[in-house]
């Protein structure tokens, strides 16, 4: 994993991340997205990442926000 703690990029701007998922993972994301009334797959992935990081933060005392 790359340590970006000294990264000079502005923290206020988003960073693009490319992700390849299997067909099963894509279907699972779309199913979760529909159940949560999220129409955009990118937004669904963003929310799922935040949920996972928040859950990890509860266990590891790491916080995204």
What was the pLDDT predicted at 38? 97
Question: Distances from the Cα of 53 to the Cαs of 8, 22, 23, 40, in angstroms?
Answer: 23, 21, 23, 20
31 lies in some domain: no
What was the pLDDT predicted at 25? 97
pLDDT tens sequence across 5-51: 555 555 677 889 999 999 999 999 999 999 999 999 999 999 999 99
16 lies in some domain: no
Domain containing residue 62: 39-65
Domains identified in the chain, total number: 1
């Amino acid at each position: 994993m790359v340590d970006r703690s000294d990264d000079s990029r502005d923290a206020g701007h988003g960073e693009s991340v490319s992700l390849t998922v299997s067909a099963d993972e894509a279907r699972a994301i779309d199913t979760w997205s529909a159940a949560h009334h999220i129409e955009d797959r990118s937004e669904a992935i963003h929310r799922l990442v935040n949920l996972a990081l928040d859950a990890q933060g509860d266990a590891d005392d790491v916080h995204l926000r």
